[in-house]
Structure 1
Amino acid sequence: MPSGLIALLDDVATIAKLAASSLDDVAGAAGKASTKAAGVVIDDTAVTPRYVVGLAPERELPIIGKIAWGSLKNKLLILLPVALLLTAFAPFLIVPLLMIGGSYLAFEATEKILEKLLHDHDHEDKLMDSIDDPRELEALQVKSAIRTDFILSGEIMAISLASLEHLSLVTTAFALIAVALAITAGVYGVVALIVKLDDIGLHLAEKPGAGTRAVGRGMVRVVPALLSGLAGIGTAAMLWVGGGILVHGLEEMHVLTFIPETIHGLSHSASEVVGGSGLVAWLVNAVGGAIVGLVVGGVIVAIVRQVTKHPEKLIVD
């Protein structure tokens, strides 16, 4: 056998051993990164079901499948390469980019709250209401969902990346791939289950047995309220996740540090009052983040609405 081939096989064997020894590192890193991104994952799960509400039941799972595929492509083909480039050449940009994404989430949530309070609807909602062709409506819903998912996926990948900064580039890449696969499967698996709960309830309602039928009828009644509640949870999650990212960014960049210091101080004090409860500390931090998100989102909404109301302000003489 030629010596070059022997050397190549030896190198392949060495790489395989290294890969095998690194699996635990990758799995551990992916698990840690997924935990760090849990808030955005909750947001993603809560937001997505609204994109299939009002569409034909038989199209719900295919639409979720299209959104999931678009989400995976977002993560692996766009966000993963960008994340690795940032790690290699510009790690100092990770926190500012996270803060930009957090500001967008806060803006989206604040906009939704204002629309609800003012009984207003954005241009996209009005456009969807005016479409009669189911295929066109489906395509628009999928496109809108994938666009929203891109922002949320960007936050997930950036948060994950920030927790993997101590790893090598190769291990980071594999960990981010694991995060992308696991989170996409988890989020859209749960979404698929949620949107089919009413069908499951109808199926149970037709089964023999009074108890089974009662459970089925109860599920059918509960699902609309569940979907409505998820929309509210999604908006709240956008606020506290976006605001939390902003608070963390201020702390990391040593800017306006009195904001994170005040929130952390209040969470610590509240936790001590109830015997060191971690849940209370988390809740205070979440509320503090939501308040910051509401303030930042409100400022952005005011600017955007002013500009869109008077587009001539964008024209430079």
Structure 2
Amino acid sequence: MSGLLALLDDVAGIAKVAAASVDDVAAQAFKAGSKAAGAVIDDAAVTPKYITGFDASRELPIVGKIALGSVRNKLLILLPLGLILANFAPWAITPLLMIGGSYLCFEGAEKVWHALFPHEHVVHDPKVHENPDPSHLEEQKVSGAIKTDFILSAEIMTIALAAIPESNIWTEAAVLAVVAIGITVAVYGSVALIVKADDLGLAMAARGRLGATRAFGRWLVKAMPVFMRILTTVGTAAMLWVGGNIVIHGLHDLGWHPIYEFIHHMADLAGEAVGEGFAPVASWVVTAFMDGVLGLVWGLVLIPVATWIIGPAIAAVTGKKTEAGAH
């Protein structure tokens, strides 16, 4: 009897440890995922453009295909690579983060530049004209979306990896897996809601039993284009903020401190100016704003580099014209 009680006590102890580990993984995953907010918002803002133009019956299946490709990107490719880096080449994480942060700055700055100086951007794709079959076009769109997702997912997973406290490889793998699945569900669940909101609004406006229901449906149809513009703006701002923050912290970690210390000093001054109660908020706002401004400046510097050097170099290697090289 005493042996059975001892066994049950051991099982209870193991269960407590396991529960604590699950809680720890969940907490670390939430913290790590929140660090990647800019890339996540941009992912949600970018993806709906790949569904535009298709029949309503194909919208959710296309979102599902892209989401499945995103999970494969994160779990089968990026998670193992991240663990290899963390355990065998940790020195490479900061430079890779800075490259990813620079990419976010470039993307955000490019959107700002095109908003200020709009121009037509048409890339001729002979395959689309040779084969106008909708299923072929759908495959191309899904493939393009998954490739874009890979870049954003790489940034998300690298940011998440850098945010995980030092631990064993199994905890790191579990945290990254939770981040990968959680972010994918959040992003593509949001995308599914966004792309079907118009249909929901039309259905409510046409078949709603109450006048308030029909009015809400009409409002929803009118509001979605405005919402998409707001989402795009927020996504751009988040990219510049997160990208700038990554680059600045990377320089600080590599031993170059002036920019980091200047922003930290200005944030402290802002906190002192508003008083103790609002100091954390003021410091955060100043830090985020200055990170974003420097992210925009760095992104604008990178636009000609990407357009005239990196884009043509990639095109020469792959034989395909890149979007950066086509501007």
Q: Which bin holds the TM-score, normalised by the shorter protein? A: 0.7 to 0.9
Q: Secondary structure at the match of 1:54?
A: coil
1:278 paired residue number = 280
Name the amino acid aligned to 1:67: I
1:78 Cα deviation (Å)?
0.7
In structure 2, relative to structure 1, the CA distance for the partners of 1:260 and 1:191 (3 Å cut) is same
- Over the matched positions of the two proteins, sequence identity in percent amounts to 48
Say whether the 8 Å CA contact 1:49–1:227 is kept in structure 2: no
Structure 1 stretch 80-89 or stretch 33-42: which is displaced more? 33-42
Q: Who is 1:8 aligned against?
A: none
Change (3 A) 1:297 1:121: farther
1:92 CA displacement: 1.1
Matched-pair contact (CA < 8 Å) for 1:106–1:294: yes
Q: Note if contact 1:115-1:121 (Cα within 8 Å) is conserved in structure 2.
A: no
Q: Which residue of 2 aligns with 1:77?
A: 76
Contact 2:73 2:153 in 1 (8 A): yes
Distance 1:97 1:308, change over 3 A: closer
Corresponding residue of 2:149: 149
Structure-2 residue corresponding to 1:289:
291
For 1:277 and 1:211, locate their aligned partners in 2 and report how far apart those are by CA, in whole Å: 44
> SS at the partner of 1:196?
helix
2:239 is matched with 238
Normalised to the residue count of structure 1, the TM-score between the two structures is 0.84
Q: CA RMSD in A?
A: 2.9
Residue aligning to 1:228: 229
CA change 1:151–1:216 in 2 (3 A) is: same
Deviation of 1:165 after TM superposition, in Å, equals 3.6
CA distance in 2, matches of 1:221, 1:169: 49
Quick one: distance in 1 between partners of 2:74 and 2:41?
A: 17
- Of the structure 1 ranges 275-284 and 149-158, higher mean CA displacement relative to structure 2 is found in 275-284
CA separation in 1, counterparts of 2:279 and 2:237? Answer: 22
Q: What CA deviation, in whole Å up to 9, does each residue of 1:21-41 have, x standing for no partner?
A: 522222222122122223322
Q: Deviation of residue 69 (structure 1)?
A: 0.8
TM-aligned CA deviation for residue 251 of structure 1: 1.6
SS of the residue 2:209 aligns to: coil
Cα displacement (A) at 1:16? 8.4
**Deviation for aligned residue 1:67:** 1.1
Query: Which residue in 2 is equivalent to 1:36?
Result: 35
Question: Conserved in 1, the CA contact under 8 Å of 2:78 and 2:157?
Answer: yes
Displacement, 1:122?
Answer: 4.4
Decide whether the 8 Å contact of 2:42 with 2:232 is kept in 1: no
Report deviation, 1:129: 9.0
Counterpart position of 1:200: 200
Amino acid at match of 1:211: A
Q: Residues of 2 paired with 1:137 and 1:154: CA distance?
A: 26
User: 1:174 offset after TM fit, Å?
Assistant: 0.9
Displacement of 1:158: 1.1
| Residues 43, 152 of structure 2: 8 Å contact kept | yes
Which secondary structure does the structure 2 equivalent of 1:208 belong to? Answer: coil
Cα distance in structure 2, aligned partners of 1:246 and 1:32: 20
Cα 1:306–1:29, aligned 2, differ >3 Å: closer, same or farther? closer
1:252-302 per-position Cα deviation (integer Å, ceiling 9, x unaligned): 1122x2111222222232233333343333222222122222222222211
Paired residue for 1:176?
176
2: CA distance, partners of 1:263 / 1:304: 27
Q: For the Cα contact (< 8 Å) 2:37–2:238, is it kept in 1?
A: no
Cα distance in 1 between the residues matched to 2:218 and 2:211: 10
1:128 deviates by: 10
Is the 1:50–1:227 contact (alpha carbons within 8 Å) kept by the matching residues of 2?
no
**Equivalence for 1:6:** none
Instruction: State the alpha-carbon separation in 1 of the partners of residues 266 and 134 from structure 2.
Output: 51
Gaps of 5+ in 1: 1-13
TM-score by length of 2: 0.82
Query: Deviation digits for residues 87-127 of structure 1, max 9, x if unmatched?
Result: 11111111110000111111122223333333234455888
Change beyond 3 A, Cα 1:283–1:60:
farther
- Which residue of structure 1 aligns with residue 109 of structure 2? 110
Partner in structure 2 of residue 11 of structure 1:
none
Which stretch of the first structure deviates more once superposed, 259-268 or 300-309?
300-309
Aligned-partner Cα distance in 2 for 1:208–1:125: 48
